[in-house]
Chain A
């Protein structure tokens, strides 16, 4: 992008925000988030490991949404400006000033043939079934938001839905986690879905997708064609529900074998099911998944993805884009070993008391990845806990803990890789006009390597107070105010120069429904954080950050 282009795009967006009300002949809702940061970048490469360099960052996200007479329209403009950013090694990505129209969508809906026809042009999200073949969902809190930029037609009827779509994958270019620039891959995706409801007690769905990857990390191209179907019984004889899905795919990659290019075609199969049963006060959930390569001639470590296809390379993460998101059977905040070749199951039983205000639960999972190869890993995880709502629902308490064991169980090999004990707690206790919040999560890991055992304790604890505007003294200046202290710890000393203890203070101040201010100062532990069922490794944070979030009707 030329040097003038970001400024022009931002100017255009600001201009649009002024003319939009007239263009749509109705009010436009504007939501704007401005984030200013002064922070330290910690180098992790061998040459400068542990060295910290300060830099500044201003990030703005402007969203405009309007609708009238069956038309709807939305525009999102992102801008990012760095002040004295550190120069990174090429392999570490790039801090880059940028501003662009990140999302635009125009939609039109009308009643047709007893249903609703909806046409969409621009950016949209798409998931098929439970995301085994394709899952492009809105996930921008964690920076891996990928949409399709193209066109989609949907006909949504009382008992039948039909949809078709085509476009290019369009990730958010300003990754708000790594703060690095993400180049557009331009991978082509096309597909369709048919769903029929009221087939007796069932819903039956069929879907298909074609994905054409422009540049695989190997420098070669690839494609994937997949199809699948699902059967769902939402109400199984008044005692539960059932969901079953099966998918097949054929994928192709051009690979370099001893200097000769050859096409590597892989067939994959996926089967997923979940059943829920309720016999008050007991409840049972049983879930199972198989992601399998049908081709028996896979390489020794099954490094080929059998279901889903690695997309072009994400320039910020130096790893491929992932366009599918199968169920994992794992806890939401659990690192998932891989979703390439998987066989696993889990069961959860819970007991409800006090009219559902208290729930005791226990969960067990067994999962194998890269089966029948040298790299096969068996993962066993058991955990349990309690969720409690009290004081007429105004207070809550939850506590959980568990144990995990991972073993290499590949061909001719068996040895322990990792054990982990974990404990979590979350309390929000309401007093008159204010409440006390405590949240903690801790992991004690033991890693087994050929050099011996290594242990690691890591976690975060947050303590805070929240005031509602019925606290008389703050009626005049705030709707809500929260003050939080965060303590993080990680005694993993493999990263020379890194911190082992982290402190941060956080203020979250809601003036009214139009303005929210959030400020953070200190240091925050990096590591795996999960939002919305998707996890990423966050870098450590050291510095100060201010977020201003405004919502206005223009």
Chain B
């Protein structure tokens, strides 16, 4: 069996090296049409409302997964909150998807309150949306969705200075028609 499996797994590994060598698609209209679409989702918010992705039709949406045990996430969220305010009139929406489980759930509201975050806090209590959009389950993880809610880009970490990159990506996203 190893003689069959090993080459197969190695091939998959090599694919991971070869594919990125292909030039990234330009963010023009044709390339945008090739982007994968995100299926509409519906989650409850921290304040007891129900929010759907399709509620934000025609808007560019940042979907950011976070948890209270993730320190980079907690550092990133205030920046995302500030960008949501700054670019709201240009059609930007940021949805924070909290993935805390029962053990840490009681810390979510406290953090949101303390940091005075205004972006909608959607609760992915069992990780269903995490599985659909972020199957590796890494955090922080942000999807940049264009106005048709197709995935334009993703980012799976946050380090000091990344807020500059995030804002540049937002500006590029909003510049698309």
Contact = CB atoms under 8 A, between A and B. Distances in A.
Interface of A: 3-4, 6-7, 10-11, 14, 26-29, 31-34, 36, 58, 60-63, 65-68, 70-72, 74, 76, 79, 81, 83, 97, 99, 103, 105, 107, 109, 116, 118, 124-127, 130-132, 135-141, 156-158, 161, 197-198, 203, 232, 234-235, 241, 274, 276, 278, 283, 285, 287, 325-328, 330, 332, 350, 352, 355-356, 359, 389, 393-396, 398, 426, 428-430, 433, 435, 466, 468-470, 480, 482, 510-516, 530-534, 548-553
Contacts of A3: 1
B30 interface: no
A274 B106 contact: yes
A136 B126 contact: yes
Nearest to B125: A127
B175 interface: no
A532 B136 contact: no
Nearest to A76: B135
Contacts of B79: 393
Nearest to A198: B48
Contact of B34 (A27, A126, A135, A234): A27
Contacts of B24: 512, 514
A135 B101 contact: yes
A549 B16 contact: yes
Contacts of A58: 6, 9-10, 13
Interface of B: 1-2, 4-6, 8-13, 15-17, 19-20, 24-25, 34-40, 42, 44, 46-50, 52, 67, 69, 71, 75, 78-79, 99-106, 109-110, 113-116, 125-128, 130-133, 135-138, 151, 153-157, 159-165
Nearest to A333: B69
B110 A433 contact: no
Given A26-B36, A234-B46, 7 more contacts: A67-B39, A76-B135, A116-B40, A125-B127, A287-B106, A480-B159, A550-B20
Given A67-B36, A127-B126, A515-B20, A468 B106 contact: no
A469 to B, nearest CB: 7
Contacts of B105: 130, 327
Given A109-B39, A140-B137, A74 B131 contact: yes
Contact of B113 (A99, A283, A326): A283
Contact of B5 (A81, A141, A203, A466): A81
B35 A74 contact: no
B156 to A, nearest CB: 7
Contacts of B8: 7, 10-11, 14, 79, 99
A231 to B, nearest CB: 12
B103 A327 contact: yes
Given A63-B135, A137-B101, A34 B13 contact: yes
B125 A532 contact: no
17 contacts: A68-B37, A70-B40, A71-B39, A137-B125, A140-B137, A156-B50, A198-B48, A276-B110, A325-B103, A389-B75, A389-B78, A394-B163, A428-B160, A435-B159, A466-B159, A514-B19, A551-B154
A468 B106 CA distance: 33
B113 to A, nearest CB: 6
B110 A60 contact: no
Given A60-B12, A135-B102, A283-B114, A7 B160 contact: no
B59 to A, nearest CB: 18
A514 B153 CA distance: 9
A352 B114 contact: yes
- SS of B interface (majority): mixed
Contacts of B39: 67, 70-72, 107, 109
A286 to B, nearest CB: 10
A504 to B, nearest CB: 19
B101 A131 contact: yes
A234 to B, nearest CB: 4
B101 A532 contact: yes
A126 B132 contact: no
Given A469-B165, A511-B20, A81 B131 contact: no
Nearest to B169: A513
B127 A33 contact: no
A204 to B, nearest CB: 11
A177 to B, nearest CB: 14
B160 to A, nearest CB: 3
B160 A468 contact: yes
Contacts of B138: 141
Nearest to B78: A393
B132 A74 contact: yes
Given A278-B113, A549-B136, A232 B128 contact: no
A241 B109 contact: yes
A468 B5 contact: no
Contacts of B136: 31, 33, 61, 63, 549
B73 to A, nearest CB: 11
A328 B126 CA distance: 17
